[in-house]
Chains A and B, each alone.
Chain A
Amino acid sequence: EVQLLESGGGLVQPGESLRVSCAASGFTFSNSAMSWVRQAPRKGLEWVSIIFSGSGNTYYSGSVEGRFTISRDNSKNTLYLQMNNLRPEDTAVYYCARGGGHIPTYFDYWGQGTLVTVSS
């Protein structure tokens, strides 16, 4: 059974940093592209970043590029999102999502999310 378990969320002040993690199991993590998708309170979904398997190529949304860094540790089956210079508008539930099979830019499995709150 595919499982994705996010952790590391919490309350931080504007300008601070935070790293969230996603522990994966039930599939070959190293073969899968992985993404972060966020959802602000009572708002819609926003794709944040993706990291591909193999090449490790990464892409970011414009709203986080230069501040957030996605990475993965295939030996630990874990995905990370390092978030620097956080802003109040980054407040959201952060979901990790697996890229679907042969089309890595759709998301076929999702975790339950971790809440990041940026507030003074």
Chain B
Amino acid sequence: EIVLTQSPATLSLSPGERATLSCRASQSVSSYLAWYQQKPGQAPRLLIYDAFIRATGIPARFSGSVSGTDFTLTISSLEPEDFALYYCQQRNSWPLTFGGGTKVEIK
């Protein structure tokens, strides 16, 4: 089973700042990784898939990148609605797995 390790667990930032979230895979997942956003009491929302492709309707301030087994989600300038939990998920092999999440909170 591929383990996805997200860091940091919590990111404390102010609106307008840049957020950088990390997801490291325990073995290669090629570029087959997605990012989701989840707000309290809501279902997750797909943001990015295949490492860097924005899902439909996702603002351009969200971007993804990859270097080997290290994946990064960047939010270029935090909006108030971006403070939430973020999860990564790999589809390279069974079982599909999620990371443990990063909480982006208001500083």
Contacts and interface: CB of A to CB of B under 8 A. Distances in A.
A51 B87 CA distance: 22
Interface string B67-100: 0000000000000000000010101001111111
A47 B45 CA distance: 15
A37 to B, nearest CB: 8
A112 B39 CA distance: 12
A110 B38 CA distance: 11
Interface stretch (A24-32, A77-85, A101-109): A101-109
B60 interface: no
A contacts with B: majority SS: strand
A44 interface: yes
Interface string A107-120: 11011110000000
Instruction: Report, as a range, how many residues of chain B touch the other chain.
Output: 20 to 34
Given A45-B44, A95-B43, A100-B49, A106 B89 contact: yes
Q: Could you say which of B1, B50, B95, B100 has the most chain A C-beta atoms within 10 Å of its C-beta?
A: B95
A106 B53 CA distance: 12
Contact of B46 (A47, A100, A111): A100
Contact of A103 (B1, B43, B49, B99): B49
B contacts with A: majority SS: loop
B13 interface: no
Contacts of A105: 91, 96
A34 interface: no
B34 interface: yes
22 contacts: A35-B96, A37-B44, A45-B36, A45-B38, A45-B87, A45-B101, A47-B98, A59-B94, A61-B95, A62-B1, A62-B95, A103-B50, A105-B91, A106-B49, A106-B91, A107-B44, A107-B89, A108-B46, A108-B55, A108-B56, A110-B44, A112-B42
Given A50-B96, A103-B49, 7 more contacts: A45-B44, A45-B87, A45-B89, A60-B95, A107-B36, A107-B46, A110-B43
